[in-house]
Amino acid sequence: MKIKAIRFAKLKVPLVTPFKTALREVSSIEDLVVLIETDCGQLGYGAAASTPVITGDTHQSMLAVIQQFIAPKLVGLEIENLNHVCHVIQSTVAGNYSAKAALELAVYDLWGKLYQAPLYKLLGGGSKTLRTDITISVDHIDKMLSDSQLAIEQGFDVLKIKIGNDLQQDIARVKAIYAGFAEQAQLRLDVNQGWSAKQTVYALQQLENSGVVLELVEQPVKSDDIQGLKYISQRVNTPIMADESAFSAKQVINLLELNAVDIINIKLMKAGGLSHAIAIADITAQYQAKCMIGCMLEGSIAVAGAAHLAAAKSQQISKIDLDGPALGCYDPVQGGVDFNGPAIILSDAPGLGIESIDTLEEINNGVWRQ
C-alpha cells in the first residue's frame, strides 16, 4: 500500500454552546481534514483544529507546511514501513505539531486498513468502551451551575470545570458547583494557565479547607513555569496535572524527574501525533505516573485516534477527556468511533473505521500528487 496523493478539506460543526476558557472563546469546531490516497484505492483520514494560542498552528500554516515540505517526501512511501513514514513526518520540519498529528492520524488509519484491524487492537488491544468527562465553560456562576445540571442529566459523572480569569470568583464558582453536584460527579479543574503559583496554592488551600475534594487541577500556571508547578505540588493535597507544559517526551521526563506534577495530559496535537503520544505514555509507565488523554476542540476524526490510543494504553491512560465531538450540534462522520454522551464506543472496522464524512468541503487547490 503506497501513498499516491494527499488531499485537504475543511469541516465545520457548530457548538451547542460557546466554548469558553481563560485563553479563548469558540463557537464552532473547525477542522482541517487531511485525506491520504493510496495506490490500492484506500483512503486515510486525519484532522486537526486551529489552535494558535496553544500550539501555534492555524489551518493556513498547517496546509502550507504539509504542501510545501512534508507531502513531497511522503508520496511514494509504503504504509507498511510505518516507523519510517512517521520519521519523515516528524523530521522534515521543526514544530508544526498539529500538522504532523493530522498526517500521522491518516497514516495510522491506513496502517489499520492494510492489516484489516482496528487501530486499538494493533496498538495493543483493550476495551472498546471508554467514558469521557464533559467540559463546563467558564462563565457566571448561575450559567455554570445550569450547564453542570444539564451534563448530569445527560449521564456525565465527571465534570471538567474551566476557570482561571478571576481568582476569587473562581473559588466561588468551584464551591458552588461542588455544593450542587459533588454527590453526582467528580470535579476536575482546568485553569488554562490563568493563575500564578502562589495564587494556586492559596485557592487550593481555601478549597481543601472548605472540604472541596477535586480529582485534579490542570495547568494552573504558565506553560514554562515548571518550578511553579513543583511549588504547588509540594504545598497542596490535590493532584496537579501538566497540559501545556507537556508537549514532548523530553518535557515529560523533566516534569517527572522534578516531581513537579502528578499527572500528564497527552494530546495528539501537542505531541505531534500518535507515535510521540505512544512514547509519552510508555515514559510515564517507567515513572509510575498516570495520564489523561485529552483533545483540543476537534471533531470526531482526530478524537477517534486519541480514543483508540486510550483503549490500547488503558493501564497508563486512566482519565479520559475526549468530549470535543459531544460539544457539537451533530457529528458529520459516518462510521468510526461512536460518541454518545459520556460513552465512547470504538468500531472494530479497520483503522479508525471511518466510512464517510458529511458536509466535507474539499480545498480545490489543496491536492498534492507525485
Catalytic residues: 162, 267
In terms of residues, how long is the chain?
A: 370
Please say whether the dihedral angle defined by the alpha carbons of residues 331, 335, 337 and 338, taken in this order, is positive or negative: positive
The three cell numbers locating residue 294? 485529552
The three cell numbers locating residue 1? 500500500
How many angstroms separate the Cα of 311 from the Cα of each of 126, 279, 333? 5, 15, 20
CB 128 within 8 A of CB 311: yes
How many angstroms separate the Cα of 231 from the Cα of each of 33, 111, 240? 41, 43, 11
d(CA 31, CA 39): 26
d(CA 314, CA 301): 20
The three cell numbers locating residue 283? 515514559
DSSP-assigned letter for residue 332: -
